[in-house]
Amino acid sequence: MARWFKSSWIWMVIAITVAVYAPLAGRTGDEKARQRSLDTLTEIMGLVQKQAVDPPAPKQVSHASISGMLHTLDPHSYYMDESEFRTMREDQRGSFFGIGSIIQQQPDGVVVVSTVRGGPSEKVGIRAGDFIREVDGKSTEGFTSTAVVQKLRGDKGTVVEVAVQRAGFPGLIRFSITRSEIPSNSVQYAFMLTPTTGLIAIKDFGETTSEEFEKAVRNLKAQGMTDLLLDLRNNGGGMLDAATGICRQLLGAGELIVTQKGRDGRDMQETRTPKGSVLDTFPMVILINRGTASASEIVTGAVQDHDRGVVVGQTSWGKGLVQAVMAINRTRGLALTTARYYTPSGRCIQRDYQHGIDDYLLPEDTKEPLGDKGPVYKTDLGRTVYGGGGITPDYTVEQAKLTTFVGNLRFRTSAFFKFAVIEKEKHGIKPQQVPDEALMKAFHAWMKEQKIECTDAEWNDPANQAEMRDQLAMEMQNVAYGMEAGFKYISGRDPQVKKALEVMPEAAAMLKKKVLSMKDGKDSPLVARN
C-alpha cells in the first residue's frame, strides 16, 4: 500500500484538484478550455514527479495546488488542513481543552501574561511572568507562541508537563497540569467605564457570542449602566448567526440586519429581526478600526443604518464576502465564497480587491479606503452614510500610536511587562495604580541595570514620559489583576474612547428620534430590560 501511494500520489492530487476545480470552472461553460487547463496541470505535475531535483511531499503539493486555485477566486476562499480546521471549530464552539494560560511571544521566549481565573494553570501556581521553557520534557527554544499553544492543548483529562523559568528562582519550576475545558469567550472585556457607561469588547463571533453579550449587558445594568460603548476594534468577524444574534438584541421588530446576494446578484437572502423583538432603549456608541471586519461590520452597519447608535473610529476593513465552510472527510475544510453582504441601506461591505491582493491584504494604516467620497446612502432618519467598502464611522478618530522609543521598550524588550512582574513580587500593586515619580525612577534604574538603551533626551521627552507611565501602569494591572484591569486603565486614556464618551449625548438624542418614529409608525414595542 505504501509503495502504491508513493508512486501514485501525484494522480491522487490531480483527481482531488479536478473534483474541486471542475464545479468552479464550470461557471464559464467552456468545456474545452477547462479540459485544456486540466491537461496542462496533469502534464506539469507529472514532470515535477519525474524531473524535480527535490520532489515535494504529497501533502505539500496538494495543499499548494488547492490553495493556489482558490487564490484565483478571491482573498477569502481558503483550504484548511486538519490542524487549521480543528482550531477553527474550537474558536467557533467557544471552548477548548488546555491549561488556561494566556501566553505571548517575547524576545526572551514564550511567557505567561495572564491565567484564566479558576483554570488549571492558576490552580497549580503558574503566574504571570513565567517563561515556558519546556513542554512534556522538550525545550520550547525557537518556538512561536502558536506552536506552544498547540502543545499545551490536548484531550480533556490528559496531563501535560510544563517547566517554567521564574524571576528570582534558580533553575526551572516544574508543574504537572491536567487539561480541562477552557472557555474561549467572545466577550473579551465587560466593565463599567464610568458610573453610567458600560464597555463591552467583543473579540470575535462564535457559537456563544449572543448569549455572552446578553449576560454582559444584564450584569452591567445591575451595576448602573444607562448607556453602552461597544468595542469591535480588531474584531475579524466569525459566524453570521452570532452577528445577527447581537442585532436581534439591539434593534426593533422586523428590522433588516443584512442582505446576502449570491452569484450575479441572484439568490438574494434577507435576514431580519423577529416580529416580536423589542428595542432596548439605552444609547450606544460603537468603536471600529481597520481591523474590524466581516460579522463585526454587519453589526456596525445595521446599527448605523437604523440610527441605533453612533460609530466612532476608523473605516473598517471591508470584508463582505460570505464563506460557506464545507467539511472534507470531517477533518479538513473548505471555506468557499458564495455571496456578498449588504447593509440595510444597500451598502456593499466588501472593499475592492481587483487592483491587487497585496494592497488589499496590507492596506496603509493611515489611508482611509474612501471616507466621505464613496457612494451616498441614507439611514432610516435620513442621515448620510457612505459606501464603497467597509463601514465609514460617523466620527473619524485615529488610534493612538506609541513613540518609537516607547514602542521599542514595549515590543522589542518587553521592559514594562518585566518590570511589572518584579514590582508585583517585591512591593505589590494597587488597583488602577498610577506610577508616581519614585516608581518611575526605580524603572529608570532597572533599565540601566538591564543595559536597555536610553539617552537622557529620550527619557526626559514629555511625550515619552507620558506614554511610559501609561504603558507601565497598564502592564502592572495586567500582571496583578488580569488583562481586563489593564485594558480598563488604558481605555480611560484612549482618544477614540474619549470621543465615544463625548458623543454619547448625540447617540441618546438620535435614539429618542428613532423611538418617536417607531411610535408614529406603530412599529416594535420598547423595553428597558433589567
Could you list the active site residues? 294, 305, 319
**H/E element, 41:** helix 31-51
Round to whole Å and give the CA distance between 450 and 253: 61
The conformation of residue 55, written as its DSSP 8-state character, comes to P
The conformation of residue 265, written as its DSSP 8-state character, comes to G
Spatial contact of 458 and 464, defined as CB atoms under 8 Å apart: yes
Cell of 237: 468577524
The conformation of residue 461, written as its DSSP 8-state character, comes to -
* 404-411 vs 462-481: helix crossing angle, rounded to 10: 20
Cell of 345: 441601506
Nearest one of 106, 100, 159, 104 to 125, comparing CA atoms:
100
Spatial contact of 395 and 353, defined as CB atoms under 8 Å apart: no
Nearest one of 526, 512, 510 to 285, comparing CA atoms:
510
Nearest one of 425, 348, 334 to 385, comparing CA atoms:
348
Q: What is the largest CA-CA distance in the chain?
A: 79
- Please give the C-alpha separations between residue 410 and each of 119, 126, 261, 290, 469, in angstroms, as whole numbers: 28, 23, 45, 22, 12
Round to whole Å and give the CA distance between 162 and 448: 32
Spatial contact of 326 and 245, defined as CB atoms under 8 Å apart: no
Round to whole Å and give the CA distance between 514 and 457: 54
In terms of phi and psi (left: phi > 0; alpha: psi -120 to 50; beta: otherwise), the region of 278 is beta
Burial of 449 (C-beta count, 10 Å sphere; 0-12/13-18/19+): exposed
The conformation of residue 94, written as its DSSP 8-state character, comes to T
Is the Cα dihedral 113, 114, 119, 123 positive or negative? Answer: positive
Spatial contact of 346 and 377, defined as CB atoms under 8 Å apart: yes
Cell of 1: 500500500
The conformation of residue 389, written as its DSSP 8-state character, comes to S
| Secondary structure (3-state) at 515 | helix
